[in-house]
Amino acid sequence: MNRKQYILTFSFILVAISVLGQTRIIEALTQKVYGARNDRDKLSAYITLADEYQSLYRDSLDKYAPEIVTLAEKSKDPIAKAGGYLAFANYYNRWGWADSALFFIEKSLQTISSIKATSLDLYFKIERSKALTLGSRLRYAEALEVLYKILPEAEKYGDAKSLGLICNTIGSISIGRQQSEESLQWINRAITLSKGNPSLIQVYAPACLNMAMAYITLGKPDSAQLFINQGLPFSRQLQNLNYIATGLRIQSSIYTDAKKYPQAEQAILEMMAVRRKTGPANIVIDDNLQLAEFYANSGQLDKAIKICKDNLNRGKLENNPTDTSYVYSNDPKVRVSYLQALMKYYKMAGRMPDYQQTMEELIAAKDTLYEANSAEAIADLQTKYEVQKKETTIIKQKLDLQTKNFLLYGSLTAAFLIAIASFIVFRNYKEKKRLEWNVMMEQEKRNATEAVKKAEENERVRIAADLHDNLGAYAASLLSNVQYINLSDNGNEFASNALEEIKKNSGAIVSQLNDTIWVLKKEALSLTSISDRIKLFIKNIGKSYPGYQIDVTEDIVTDSLLQSSHAFHLYRILQEAINNALKHSGGKQIFVNFKSVDQQWSVYVEDDGIGFDLSLLQNENGNGLQHIMQRSKECGWKADWATGLNNGGTRLSISTTN
């Protein structure tokens, strides 16, 4: 044995000696139980002892639990009774029986429901225990619902200890939900509340451990090391064996990542020694596998192989009743776990014959496990029955056995059915409220939309009326009066020209006002109505161009509707296109065609003239072409020009883009 191995072994022996003995707190509390003079004092001592359940050997709870619940049932003090039920729930939690634990947690809550205001410390403790129990079964949503309910109550109460423990528990659940960033916020709040306060070490120690775990999951080992260096010493000061073992496991992980294998090994070995302090050897199988994995990853395959082989012994325990260090693995589930690890290590070591032999043993163990499934299922049912029977015996000792079974099972069944019914009613109530809320919000949206729409409609109608009644009347009056004005032949030539210009502009104003009012009076206009308006425009303008023939055709299968603003733009575009053809094409015929199918429409204006230079499209002052392009763009339409057609003319096409 080299010097490093000697130092490591000696250090582990010292660690083992320090943790193998009963903690001083547990010994002192046990003495209080034995020294109690009456049932009231004994129940109080039991409750205080059960608060340290994370450091108690599991079989000790088996001995104390029946008496705790018996004393709780006899007690007239609701606080003592509730504390006894909570202690019994902690006993079930140590065995992993969450449903039974929740049953007694609920009994504890019911017991203090009428005096909650005078026992808030106990109330917060019970609710936190409920959340932890739910969280242990990955029922995170229910656990958080409990914690978020009591969080504002604890804030109002001003209890730093309860508030810190609640925040730390929420942070712990966030780690389980793989929400590490969120967990840091809650855990940091717990640390801030408790740091530097000696009376709040019970909050500070686990909060530091959780903070270290959160930083490990975030890949920040330096920060994790900082908090484990604070949390682990305080955990030792509290003498909480679960905190100590958890801190050592985190510390081992940090050392392993840093390739500090001797320190990592020492932390693992100390963790296993602490774990054995709270339970029999068969509960450290996972720890043994973790130690083997550590050896394999640190290049010590022989040690990893030896751990697996040492834990694969077959036999009966009674053959060596005094040798408690000798572990047998007859359970096929346990053997499969060790054989799978051993097979992997043989392969890593290149020991292929051993690998092949282990593979054959693994196949046989899996076959045995498969065959044992039905018997195991029966054993599970039998175990559950024995557990229920044991609960009945503890709670109702003075009653007839058959009566006790009937009452207990009946009450459990009723409670279960009531819980299911309550859950269904509550879920339906929440769903109903959610639907009502959605309906209300949708109605609000519809009302708001209708209100805006109605306001726009009212404003549009008002503007049209104002234009018609005021500006339209004035423009029509102006045009009418101007026509009565005549200048003599000897009159001023400039005055005559001005008068003629006034007549022309007045007519244009009236025409454009009529077009605008026509659009504004309607919320939406069909393509057919726009075609009809164009026909009216052609009829009026045709008087000034007697040499032109303008034809309008319609290929409308299903009429398309355009909102009033778009209808106005299309009307103006077609007016501009027809005017351009009349003024610049040099032709004699103009064709206008409207086409519409399933809300997809197009309109073209074509002439038989001389065509035009498409480069004019880039000229912002060219024949109003830019106005046509701008209006089309605003409406989301496509505007295309084609020139040099079969008849030599030009075609403008306006169409929807989709």
Return d(Cα 633, Cα 630) in angstroms, integer. Answer: 5
Task: Tell which wins on pLDDT, 247 or 328.
Answer: 247
Does the pLDDT of residue 526 top 70, yes or no?
yes
| Mean pLDDT, residues 279-294 taken together | 64
Going by pLDDT thresholds of 50, 70 and 90, the confidence category of residue 317 is very low
DSSP 3-state percent helix, strand, coil across the chain (nearest 5): 75, 5, 20
What is the reported pLDDT for 282?
43
What is the reported pLDDT for 591?
93
Rg (CA), the chain: 45
| Mean pLDDT, residues 366-392 taken together | 46
> How many structural domains compose the chain?
3
Q: Give me the residues paired with residue 561 across strands.
A: 526
The answer to whether residues 41 and 154 belong to one domain is yes
Going by pLDDT thresholds of 50, 70 and 90, the confidence category of residue 122 is confident
Does the pLDDT of residue 598 top 50, yes or no?
yes
The answer to whether residues 561 and 649 belong to one domain is yes
- Whole-prediction pTM: 0.46
**Residues in Cβ contact with 55 at an 8 Å cutoff, skipping those fewer than 6 apart:** 23, 25, 26, 239, 240, 241, 242, 277, 278
- The continuous run of DSSP H or E covering 69 comes out as helix 58-74
What is the reported pLDDT for 572?
87
| Mean pLDDT, residues 438-464 taken together | 62
| Mean pLDDT, residues 45-64 taken together | 75
Q: Where does a domain end: 158, 191, 224?
A: 158
Does the pLDDT of residue 608 top 80, yes or no?
yes
Does the pLDDT of residue 286 top 70, yes or no?
no
Domain harbouring 113, CATH code: 1.25.40.10
- Cα separations (Å) of 214 from 54, 178, 179, 217? 22, 9, 9, 5
Going by pLDDT thresholds of 50, 70 and 90, the confidence category of residue 622 is low
Return d(Cα 96, Cα 279) in angstroms, integer. Answer: 13
H runs (alpha helix) in 488-526: 493-520
**221-238 helix and 241-257 helix, angle to the nearest 10 degrees:** 160
What is the reported pLDDT for 595?
93
237 found inside a domain = no
314 burial (CB, 10 Å; 0-12 / 13-18 / 19+) is exposed
Going by pLDDT thresholds of 50, 70 and 90, the confidence category of residue 330 is low
The answer to whether residues 585 and 550 belong to one domain is yes
Rounded to the nearest 10 degrees, how much is the dihedral formed by the CA atoms of 218, 223, 229, 235?
-40
- State residue 590 phi and psi, 5-degree precision: -130, 135
Give the single-character DSSP code of 470: I
135 found inside a domain = yes
Return d(Cα 561, Cα 497) in angstroms, integer. Answer: 44
What is the reported pLDDT for 499?
66
H runs (alpha helix) in 218-351: 221-238, 241-257, 261-277, 285-297, 301-310, 332-349
Copy the structure tokens of residue 568: 């106005």
Out of 147-156, 378-387, 558-567, least confident range: 378-387
Copy the structure tokens of residue 618: 């880039």
Q: What is the pLDDT of residues 268-284, one digit of tens each?
A: 888 888 887 876 544 55
Q: Where does a domain end: 127, 158, 189?
A: 158
- Cα separations (Å) of 428 from 142, 419, 431? 17, 14, 5
Return d(Cα 168, Cα 205) in angstroms, integer. Answer: 10
- State residue 249 phi and psi, 5-degree precision: -65, -45
The answer to whether residues 35 and 152 belong to one domain is yes
Q: Give me the residues paired with residue 331 across strands.
A: none
The answer to whether residues 487 and 459 belong to one domain is yes
Going by pLDDT thresholds of 50, 70 and 90, the confidence category of residue 461 is low
Does the pLDDT of residue 19 top 50, yes or no?
no
Q: What is the pLDDT of residues 343-366, one digit of tens each?
A: 888 988 888 888 888 888 888 777
- State residue 490 phi and psi, 5-degree precision: -90, 5
The answer to whether residues 559 and 509 belong to one domain is no
- Pick the closest to residue 586 from 613, 611, 609 (CA basis): 609
Task: Tell which wins on pLDDT, 395 or 72.
Answer: 72
What is the reported pLDDT for 473?
46
- The continuous run of DSSP H or E covering 209 comes out as helix 201-217
Q: What is the pLDDT of residues 469-509, one digit of tens each?
A: 445 444 555 555 565 565 555 556 666 665 665 665 565 56
What is the reported pLDDT for 655?
92
Going by pLDDT thresholds of 50, 70 and 90, the confidence category of residue 592 is very high
- Cα separations (Å) of 192 from 70, 164, 187, 432? 41, 9, 9, 41
Task: Tell which wins on pLDDT, 478 or 557.
Answer: 557
- Pick the closest to residue 255 from 245, 244, 247, 263 (CA basis): 263
What is the reported pLDDT for 1?
41
What is the reported pLDDT for 227?
93
353 found inside a domain = no
455 found inside a domain = yes
Return d(Cα 640, Cα 56) in angstroms, integer. Answer: 88
What is the reported pLDDT for 143?
84
Rounded to the nearest 10 degrees, how much is the dihedral formed by the CA atoms of 171, 177, 181, 183?
0
Contacts for 7-16: CB closer than 8 Å, 24+ residues apart: 8/262, 8/265, 8/266, 11/266, 12/266, 12/269, 12/270, 15/266, 15/269, 15/270, 15/273, 16/269, 16/270, 16/273
212 found inside a domain = no
Helix (H, G, I), strand (E, B) or coil at 426: helix
Domain harbouring 549, CATH code: 3.30.565.10
Q: What is the pLDDT of residues 213-259, one digit of tens each?
A: 899 889 999 999 999 999 999 989 888 888 888 888 888 888 888 88
What is the reported pLDDT for 604?
93
What is the reported pLDDT for 506?
60
Q: Do 121 and 142 contact (CB within 8 A), yes or no?
A: no
200 found inside a domain = no
Out of 53-57, 66-70, 176-180, least confident range: 53-57
The answer to whether residues 578 and 646 belong to one domain is yes
The answer to whether residues 55 and 120 belong to one domain is yes
Query: Scanning the structure block, which residue is given the tokens 């730093």?
Result: 160
Domain membership of residue 636 as a residue range: 523-656
633 found inside a domain = yes
The answer to whether residues 449 and 547 belong to one domain is no
- Cα separations (Å) of 545 from 542, 578, 589? 5, 12, 11
80 found inside a domain = yes
Going by pLDDT thresholds of 50, 70 and 90, the confidence category of residue 654 is very high
505 burial (CB, 10 Å; 0-12 / 13-18 / 19+) is middle
The answer to whether residues 40 and 145 belong to one domain is yes
Does the pLDDT of residue 511 top 70, yes or no?
no
Q: Where does a domain end: 521, 550, 574?
A: 521
Return d(Cα 400, Cα 43) in angstroms, integer. Answer: 25
- Cα separations (Å) of 249 from 107, 207, 494, 622? 35, 15, 106, 83
The answer to whether residues 545 and 514 belong to one domain is no
- Pick the closest to residue 623 from 589, 576, 588 (CA basis): 576
Instruction: Calculate what percentage of the chain has a pLDDT beyond 70.
Output: 71
Task: Tell which wins on pLDDT, 421 or 484.
Answer: 421
**How many other C-beta atoms are found inside a 10 Å radius of the C-beta of residue 17?**
10
Query: Scanning the structure block, which residue is given the tokens 């196949």?
Result: 363
The answer to whether residues 131 and 47 belong to one domain is yes
Mean pLDDT of the chain: 76
What is the reported pLDDT for 26?
77
Contacts for 104-111: CB closer than 8 Å, 24+ residues apart: 104/69, 105/129, 105/130, 105/133, 106/130, 108/82, 108/83, 109/82, 111/78, 111/81, 111/82, 111/85
